[in-house]
Each structure stands twice: as structure tokens, then as C-alpha cells.
Chains A and B, each alone.
Chain A
Amino acid sequence: NAGVMQNPRHLVRRRGQEARLRCSPMKGHSHVYWYRQLPEEGLKFMVYLQKENIIDESGMPKERFSAEFPKEGPSILRIQQVVRGDSAAYFCASSRGTGNTIYFGEGSWLTVV
């Protein structure tokens, strides 16, 4: 998973605040994915993005969650008005293209208090 950079690694937010998680894909990768891992669970797909495009957001909660991957800069997963149930590890992954090997970052751990 070397090369996919996520920050912050740990984030604490009070209920109602906003959380912004950033992801820089591996060099040469233009496909970015976000997954969420609840305690003692496997990772669950949230969203798949290419530069300036959301390709598949079928795993995103309908409200409060959004993701972008701008032409310049990292991909951002944004959670508005966080609730306790949003506490989880959020993993970004990247690949060179669809069907290519997917590499994960080290994750961002969100705690909502």
C-alpha cells in the first residue's frame, strides 16, 4: 500500500461538525476509491472517482456524504454534520485503471464524540 497517502490519519470531531478526509493516489494512478470499515467489519465500498468525475457512488449514504477528485489536488471525502455512527476507518485506494491492481492507503480514523 506504499504510495497512497491519506490525511489526517486520525480525526476527532464533535457531533454536528464537518470531517474532511484527503487522499493522494499513487503516482500514475488516476482512479480513486473510498471504502469504510466499521469496527470488527470488513471494508465496504463507498465511491469510485476518476479525475473530475464520480463514476459510481452507489455505496455512499444518501445524505451528508460527498466525494470529489478535482483536476488538481487530492481526492476529498467530506462528511457534513457528523454523527456517532460515522465513527469508522475510511480507506482510500487507487489503481492505474479499472481491472488493475487496487492499492490501499493506511486509512483515516474518524472518531465522533
Chain B
Amino acid sequence: GQQLNQSPQSMFIQEGEDVSMNCTSSSIFNTWLWYKQDPGEGPVLLIALYKAGELTSNGRLTAQFGITRKDSFLNISASIPSDVGIYFCAGMNSGGSNYKLTFGKGTLLTVNP
């Protein structure tokens, strides 16, 4: 099946620093999504990307849908302590399976105040 490789696995940064994480796939996705999961909670949608090349922002978060449709990145600017959590990328295809999300293994972000 399709697999997503998400990197880095974990990051330790100082408050105020910028963060970048990315996802690559062995095959094409038509939608890329980025979620954040806090401990003991469900994933919360941060950004959804629907077109190759699309660059979308949500506050301090910016994500891009790669031109090849096989990758995406998420940037967080000026990190704050509440950014701590696990960030997941997820891909979705169109057509008959445009409901099934394939998730990466996550990037654990720790922000030191």
C-alpha cells in the first residue's frame, strides 16, 4: 500500500525559532493534510492542500503541496510552548477512495521556553 515518510521524527527547539517538517510519498496524492495531536487527544486539522504547488497559511503555520504531488512540508514560524505536540501529515486520493487517509508516523515537537 501507499506509505508516507515523515521527517524528522522529533525536534527540540527553543521558543521563537522556526520549524520545518516534511512528508514524502512513494506515490501520488491528490490532497495533503496536516494534523496536530496533543497527548491523549485526537488529531486536529491544521491545513488542507488540494492543488499541486498550493501554498497555504494558517496563522504562523504555512504548508505547501509539492509540484510532483508526492511531498508536502509544514513550517511553523516563531514557535511558542503551546506548539508542543505530534504533527502528522496525511494524504488522500481522489476518485473511488477519496475518503481514506494515509498518515505519516508523525513529528514530535518539543519547544523549550
Contacts and interface: CB of A to CB of B under 8 A. Distances in A.
B45 A43 contact: no
Interface stretch (A14-22, A78-86, A96-104): A96-104
A63 interface: no
A101 B45 contact: yes
Interface string A1-19: 1001010000000000000
A41 B105 CA distance: 5
Interface of A: 1, 4, 6, 31, 33, 35, 40-45, 48, 55-56, 91, 95, 98-99, 101-107, 109
Interface string B74-113: 0000000000000010100010011111111110000000
B94 to A, nearest CB: 8
Interface in B31-56: 35, 40-45, 48
A1 B42 contact: yes
B42 A91 contact: yes
Chain B interface residue bracket vs A: 20 to 34
Interface of B: 4, 6, 35, 40-45, 48, 88, 90, 94, 97-106
Given A41-B105, A42-B88, A43-B88, A99 B99 contact: yes
Contacts of B48: 101
Contact of B101 (A6, A102, A105): A102
A56 B102 CA distance: 14
Contacts of A104: 35, 42-44
A16 to B, nearest CB: 27
